[in-house]
Amino acid sequence: MSNLVEDNPAKHRFEILVDDALAGFTAYLARGEVLVFTHTEVDPAFQNMGVGGALIRGTLDEVRARGGRVVPQCPFVAAYIDKHPEYADLVAVYP
């Protein structure tokens, strides 16, 4: 199973493709260099396979590579960052 995480700016979300099928996405609102993550969804056919974690890891790696920051309003993104403190430095304080 090969995973690919890519930004889809037209839909304001990062998507994860598993074997060329859309397996999930995490939606965001762009506020300059800060992305406010609002919702994450994984297709039921791909749940409990680590797809959600791979999606968030790939998303956060991409944000870091761009020099951006995140606001994890989505509980799934927030929980992932709590469990993986190596990404805590990406969290922006945003009113």
* Alpha-carbon torsion, ordered 5, 9, 12, 18, to 10 deg: -20
Domains, the chain, ordered by start: 3-90 (3.40.630.30)
**Residue ranges in the chain whose pLDDT is less than 70:** 1-2, 94-95
Distance CA 3, CA 86 (A): 21
69 half-sphere exposure, CB direction, 13 A CA radius: 10
Question: Which strands sit side by side in the sheet containing 3-8, from one edge to the other?
Answer: 3-8, 13-18, 21-31, 34-42, 69-72
Q: What is the pLDDT of residue 93?
A: 76
Question: Is pTM beyond 0.85 here?
Answer: yes
